[in-house]
């Protein structure tokens, strides 16, 4: 067998054997709720890059994050996925951000009620990361 064929066969067999293997990395949705702001920010960027509309509810929750950079990435990702900001600014006072977050939650509810391809609500909000 030629060396190239052996190499190809090795990759095919590895793929067949590990097709269901876990990578050891938490899911995107778990990382969106991680304790570390850098992990949350990375997951937010990934959600936007992969156009994962199922992450929208989680991104809305991240708008209340205590870390300003996480809030910034969350609104940038929401804008990329939806074309909207709904007046949210990551640097506004907590009261103003809370009003904008309520607009986002109402938007999500309206999208879901209209039967548009919007995701369900996030199963829970992250503990200890809320500014309110």
- Greater confidence (106 vs 129) lies with 106
For residues 10 and 25, give the distance between their C-alpha atoms in angstroms, rounded to a whole number.
24
Decide if 125 is inside a domain.
no
Read off the pLDDT of residues 49-103 as tens digits, 9 standing for 90 and up: 999 999 999 999 999 999 999 999 999 999 999 999 999 999 999 999 999 999 9
Task: Tell me how far CA of residue 40 lies from CA of 33, 89, 119, in angstroms.
Answer: 6, 18, 19
Decide if 72 is inside a domain.
yes
Domain count, the chain: 1
**pLDDT beyond 80 at 10:** no
pLDDT band at 25 (very low <50, low <70, confident <90, very high): confident
User: Is residue 65 classed as helix, strand or coil in its secondary structure?
Assistant: strand
**pLDDT beyond 70 at 118:** no
- Greater confidence (113 vs 121) lies with 113
Answer positive or negative: Cα dihedral of 64, 70, 76, 79.
negative
Decide if 47 is inside a domain.
yes
Q: What is the mean pLDDT of the chain?
A: 80
**pLDDT beyond 70 at 104:** yes
Give the per-residue pLDDT at 95. Answer: 97
Decide if 36 is inside a domain.
yes
Query: What does the block give as tokens for 89?
Result: 């600014």
Decide if 132 is inside a domain.
no
Decide if 73 is inside a domain.
yes
For residues 98 and 71, give the distance between their C-alpha atoms in angstroms, rounded to a whole number.
12
Give the per-residue pLDDT at 35. Answer: 96
Decide if 94 is inside a domain.
yes
What residues contact 50, with CB distance under 8 A and at least 6 apart? 28
Place of tokens 């030629």: 2
**pLDDT beyond 60 at 129:** no
CATH number for the domain harbouring residue 63: 1.25.10.10
Decide if 83 is inside a domain.
yes
Give the per-residue pLDDT at 23. Answer: 60
Q: Which domain holds residue 87?
A: 28-113
**pLDDT beyond 60 at 113:** yes
């Amino acid at each position: 067998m030629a060396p190239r064929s052996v190499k190809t066969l090795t990759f095919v067999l590895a793929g067949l054997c590990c097709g269901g293997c876990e990578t050891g990395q938490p899911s995107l949705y778990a990382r969106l709720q991680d304790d570390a702001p850098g992990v949350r920010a990375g997951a937010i960027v990934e959600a936007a890059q992969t156009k994962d509309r199922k992450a929208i509810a989680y991104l809305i929750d991240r708008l209340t994050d205590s870390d300003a950079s996480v809030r910034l990435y969350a609104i940038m990702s929401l804008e990329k996925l939806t074309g909207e900001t709904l007046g949210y600014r990551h640097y506004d006072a907590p009261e103003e951000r809370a009003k904008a977050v309520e607009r986002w939650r109402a938007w999500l509810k309206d999208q879901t009620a209209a039967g548009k391809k919007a995701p369900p609500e996030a199963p829970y909000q992250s503990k200890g990361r809320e500014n309110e």
